[in-house]
Amino acid sequence: MADTATTASAAAASAANASSDAPPFQLGKPRFQQTSFYGRFRHFLDIIDPRTLFVTERRLREAVQLLEDYKHGTLRPGVTNEQLWSAQKIKQAILHPDTNEKIFMPFRMSGYIPFGTPIVVGLLLPNQTLASTVFWQWLNQSHNACVNYANRNATKPSPVSKFIQGYLGAVISAVSIAVGLNVLVQKANKFTPATRLLIQRFVPFPAVGRLSCRRAPGCSSLCKASCAWQPSAWPCHWPSASSHRCQRLKHPS
């Protein structure tokens, strides 16, 4: 019955989309083809689109209702594929796929760039003291941990202690690498002051990059975003990946 209703909604939507450039709507599927780099790239841009941060509560309710109407075959006449894709984009950007609860704005994928950019700038500030190095590394790892937790796979609950252990390990490792490299550079007498300053600018990269490669098992939507660039990594074998959000489980190689 549900399949019949969905088919009826799809037929009604397609009738209103004869002249539309939007592809036929598919509930729960990506709008852009995942078989090409360009399609994955556009899908990635859709995920991190910061415009969804400004969606009102009313618009969110309308988007959710529109998708429910489509699912149950009660879609009103005249609804276009573009409207359906837009509604799905809004819902997926704001609501957690497992809990159906709103994700706190700074921890959404669409908020990763506007809220993460100031932290990156702080990491790259010149002439940092020990205290500022520790602070920015701690803030960066704290933000990453919150993003991962907010986008976690809620269908397989993990003890909070596991997230705390991972968070503490990430903070300690990042701070140790950053501080250790800074000390080594400062003690390297063979470098000129200009060379020493240039090398210090790149110290945050190994500290952040080393921890990023260990972060995949703890997230779902972040994995999906990175997969836009790494199709060879499919299918995903991480047990914590969410089938609702991670496209690697839906499009194996």
- Per the omega criterion (within 30 degrees of 0), is the bond before 252 cis? no
Domain residue extents for the chain: 16-95, 104-207
Burial class from Cβ neighbours inside 10 Å (0-12, 13-18, 19+) for residue 253 reads: exposed
Angle between the N-to-C axes of helices 57-71 and 81-94, in degrees from 0 to 180, rounded to the nearest 10: 120
Between CA 48 and CA 147 the distance in angstroms is 13
Percent of the chain with pLDDT over 90: 41
- pLDDT tens for 81-134 read 999 999 999 999 999 988 899 999 999 999 989 999 999 899 888 778 889 989
- pLDDT tens for 171-224 read 998 888 888 877 777 777 777 777 767 776 666 666 666 555 544 444 444 444
Give the pLDDT mean for 31-36: 92
Among 30-34, 35-39, 112-116, 201-205, whose mean pLDDT is lowest? 201-205
State the DSSP string of the chain. Answer: -HHHHHHHHHHHHHHTTTT--SPPP-TTS-SS-TTSHHHHHHHHHHHT-GGGGG--HHHHHHHHHHHHHHHTT-PPTT--HHHHHHHHHHHHHHB-TTT-PBPPGGGSGGGHHHHHHHHHHHHT-SS--HHHHHHHHHHHHHHHHHHHHHTS-TTS---HHHHHHHHHHHHHHHHHHHHHHHHHHHH-TTS-HHHHHHHHHTTHHHHHHHHHTT-GGG-SHHHHHHHTT-GGGPSP--TT--TTT-TTTTS--
Between CA 238 and CA 220 the distance in angstroms is 9
Q: What is the pLDDT of residue 124?
A: 84
